[in-house]
Amino acid sequence: MKEIEEIKKEFEEKIKTKSIEELKKIETYFLGRKGKIADLFKALKNISEKKKKDTGQEINNLKSYIEKTITYHLKELENIEKDKLLESEKIDVTLPGVKLETGGLHILSKITREVEDIFLSMGFDVMTGPEIESDYYNFEALNIPEFHPARDMQDTFYLAKKILLRTQTSPIQIRTMEKYKPPVRIIAIGRCYRRDAIDSSHSPIFHQVEGLVVDKKISFSNLKGTLLEFTKRMFGPETKVRFSPSYFPFVEPGAETAISCVICKGEGCRVCKYTGWLEMGGSGMVHPNVLKNVNIDPEEYQGFAFGWGIERIAMIKYGIPDIRMFFQNDLRFLEQFK
């Protein structure tokens, strides 16, 4: 049959297409229910009985040739398409990545956590409290008399007649002793406010850590042991602690506490003003009046307490020369502690 040859030629011409869509159309055109091959089979009934078998075989051969060829070309075109997609989605894993800017904790937060970790390991609890306090918790309960200069408007930020910004973390400790029976073993850390003129060592906002232990048979040697352990852990095992007599209304006896200079190890240098010692804060045995104010019997219980500055600790540990650097938010400063 001549037509079989013609259809084969037509197919071989059309199959050169490069598009899958076109190929699908070609498939229908030749193999579809009303396609060219179907037409050929229909035409078969007009053929003589003698030739029918051979011609039928020829059509079948053409049909399976077309099927195989289309399947092959479809695969081929699909592969080309896939390669194109892979090429367009290719990423160069050797290119440098996009750097993510990360934040970090402020150095004062870091020191705070470090101090907390040390005291937690010694069995202390960490307490917090309000920054807005009453005159009672900030002064009265701490045995600070009514006409003490610290209570002056010049030194304390008052929000109302007897409401103020706490000048120390001690009110946290008063609140703790009111709430919990001894034994009490806590540190209180937080932001404090004083109406100081700003200079390299004074900031109206600063942070304090205070410690308080109340129990039976608590003595000054417990205070010394605790502060020495803290100091060694914070500044290095060779650091010494010095206590010298001093006065704070809420302790008796009271002491200034200093550590041996971390720069010169006590030899004398510019940082310690050639004394060999760095003043860290105050400490002492809790005044009986303070215990009475929170209904703890001073005949039965004793306590020690201390108060150190967080900024002071950070400045000495890292050699920071000016307290204002903590609050200026200069990234060149902050990033050094990330």
Binding site for ligand 2NL (CB under 6 A): 170, 173-174, 208, 210, 212, 248, 250-251, 281-284, 286, 290, 305-309
DSSP code of 87?
H
Beta bridge partner(s), residue 211: 187, 306
Rounded to an integer, what is the distance from CA 300 to the centroid of its chain? 45
Closest-by-Cβ residue to ligand 2NL is 307
Residue 303 and residue 293 in contact, taking contact as beta carbons nearer than 8 Å = no
- Token readout for 301 is 């219980």
Residue (30 or 250) nearer to ligand 2NL, CB: 250
282-302 in b/e form (b: 16+ CB < 10 A) is: bbbbbbbebbebbebeeeebb
Distance CA 86, CA 215 (A): 74
CB 92 to ligand 2NL: min, Å: 58
Residue (229 or 252) nearer to ligand 2NL, CB: 252
CB 192 to ligand 2NL: min, Å: 9
CB 263 to ligand 2NL: min, Å: 21
Q: Indicate the Cα dihedral angle 27, 29, 32, 34, nearest 10°.
A: 180
CB 330 to ligand 2NL: min, Å: 26
Residue (209 or 272) nearer to ligand 2NL, CB: 209
Comparing CA positions, the residue from 161, 317, 166, 299 lying closest to residue 233 is 317
Residue (182 or 309) nearer to ligand 2NL, CB: 309
Residue (266 or 307) nearer to ligand 2NL, CB: 307
CB 305 to ligand 2NL: min, Å: 3
Residue (266 or 281) nearer to ligand 2NL, CB: 281
Which phi and psi (to 5°) does residue 322 adopt? Answer: -140, 125
CB 211 to ligand 2NL: min, Å: 8
Residue (55 or 169) nearer to ligand 2NL, CB: 169
Which phi and psi (to 5°) does residue 124 adopt? Answer: -85, 155
CB 331 to ligand 2NL: min, Å: 29
Rounded to an integer, what is the distance from CA 24 to the centroid of its chain? 58
